[in-house]
Chain A
Amino acid sequence: MIRYMSSKLLTTVSATRRKGADTKICTLEKRYGKDFGVQNDKALWNYFKNKGFGSLSRLLGDE
């Protein structure tokens, strides 16, 4: 996934990780208008629910 990020974004992600901040990938996606295949929690739960895996959504914490 990282190979598709611009160097500027890669730096931002690296810096975020170094700081241990809570900035989420979805925030970075929103900021840079890119889709890294990583969903915010709610979207991910809905995705798996819609695929017939509501039990996985619950495992991930949707309830």
Chain B
Amino acid sequence: MNKSHLEKIKLSTKDSLARGRFKFIADETLRDNIAIYVQYVTFLLSLDEEYDLGIIAYSIYKDIVIHTAHVIESLLHNKLREMIGNGLVDPKNVLDSNLKHSEEKFIHECNGGKYVVCKVVQKGLEDDTQFIAINRAGKRSGLLTDALFQKCEEVRAMRNKIHLSGLKLVDDQYTKVKINQVFAIATEVINRVRDY
């Protein structure tokens, strides 16, 4: 069975984005993956603009927010990795320490509570470093200004709505205004990462 062609859709292609807007990204795999995400964002937006999606529209908007947030997170992560690799930033100064529970030693029990000591270990920038740690490292390293840090935190909060079990409200409040705000933040991050 032949599928219908979405004739009204307008989109920016992965190749065009990778060779143009995102050509400053040295990591080819990341550059292509980001281009694929932005290509999809343009597709979703055009889909919503050109076709009557009814009750699906807010899910399209949420998908746009999530994908744009992933682009922001990966750009910051990659830039930090480059800065650390080039010796411009010491991970000890920008990444939080964490408690390594595997080496914990029980030392005392009091009022039903157990007290332990454990070794504080310094985590490096990992492939799975969380968005919040990336934002904080971005601020501490100077990559993010205070204002841009706050904006990235807003995006992170929106992106966290992928965790449905943690939501207290029905998540159907996405608007054009909100989408434009996220795009504006993404633009600031792209330019900052490119020029810093």
CB 8 Å contact bits of A30-56 with B (1 = contact, 0 = none): 000001011101011001100111111
Question: How many A-B contacts are there with CB distance less than 8 Å?
Answer: 74
Inter-chain CA distance A40–B99, complex, in Å, is: 52
> CB-CB < 8 A to B187: which residues of A?
55, 58-59
In which size bucket is the chain A interface? 20 to 34
- Find B184's partner among A35, A44, A58 (CB 8 Å cutoff): A58
Inter-chain CA distance A39–B195, complex, in Å, is: 27
Residue contact A60 to B184, C-beta cutoff 8 Å: no
If A44-B12, A48-B45 touch, does A58 touch B21 (CB 8 Å cutoff)? no
Q: How many chain-B residues does the 8 Å CB contact rule pick out? A: 32
Complex interface residues of chain A between 1 and 52 (CB less than 8 A to chain B) = 1, 3-4, 17, 22, 24-25, 35, 37-39, 41, 43-44, 47-48, 51-52
Please tell me if B122 contacts chain A, counting CB pairs below 8 Å.
no
Residue contact B45 to A56, C-beta cutoff 8 Å: yes
Inter-chain CA distance A38–B41, complex, in Å, is: 14
Residue contact B49 to A38, C-beta cutoff 8 Å: no
Q: Which residues of A contact B (CB under 8 A)?
A: 1, 3-4, 17, 22, 24-25, 35, 37-39, 41, 43-44, 47-48, 51-56, 58-61
Q: Can you list 9 residue pairs at the A/B interface with Cβ under 8 Å?
A: A35-B7, A43-B10, A48-B42, A52-B176, A52-B180, A56-B180, A59-B184, A60-B12, A61-B21
